[in-house]
Homo-oligomer: A and B are copies of this chain.
Amino acid sequence: MSSTHTHSKKSQSLTKNQRIVLDLLQNSGEPLKAYFILDSLKKEGLNSPLQVYRALDKLVELGKIHKIESINSFIICNNSNCASNTAFTICERCGKVKEIKNKYLTDGVSDLVKDNKLEITRYNLEFYVLCKSCKIN
């Protein structure tokens, strides 16, 4: 390490807007909506929807967050390596969202996809459930 070449600086560094949006999602752990993010980060200097959407787009592209399509929300990736392949459970009662990191499920889906000759570039799987605490009550 610490060799002469200075490359790959870019790949590690997020811009200020990207960073504060990522931090908020990280600290929240929950899915957040773009305009909620905007409101939350007004004090940090974010003024317009576009600033939020641009940061979100980039973070999605980098695989650091995911968009949950059916609720128009964004959540931190807790999986670190799912690229653009995502799977979530969403509680139909309380709205709680969990990223599925069960290897067997995601591998299984990949296998099914291969077996069925679907050439998938990426996928988004949203499973609606009744979560444990909602099941009890």
Contacts from A to B (Cβ < 8 Å)? 69-70, 84, 89, 92, 100, 102, 104-105, 108-109, 112-113, 115-116, 118-130, 135
Report A57 CB to chain B, min CB distance, Å. 14
- By a CB distance below 8 angstroms, the chain B residues around A135 are 119
Report A37 CB to chain B, min CB distance, Å. 20
- By a CB distance below 8 angstroms, the chain B residues around A109 are 109, 112
Bound CA–CA A102/B119 (angstroms): 14
Q: A70-B69, A124-B70, A124-B126 are in contact. Are A108 and B112 (CB under 8 A)?
A: yes
Q: Which residue of B lies closest to A111 (CB)?
A: B108
Q: List 10 A-B contacts (CB under 8 A).
A: A70-B124, A104-B112, A108-B108, A108-B115, A109-B109, A112-B112, A122-B128, A123-B126, A123-B127, A124-B128
- By a CB distance below 8 angstroms, the chain B residues around A123 are 125-128
Q: A123-B127, A127-B123 are in contact. Are A89 and B118 (CB under 8 A)?
A: yes
Bound CA–CA A61/B131 (angstroms): 22
Point out which of A69, A84, A115 has the most chain B C-beta atoms below 10 A from its C-beta. Answer: A69
Bound CA–CA A92/B89 (angstroms): 24
Q: A69-B69, A69-B70, A104-B116 are in contact. Are A121 and B126 (CB under 8 A)?
A: no
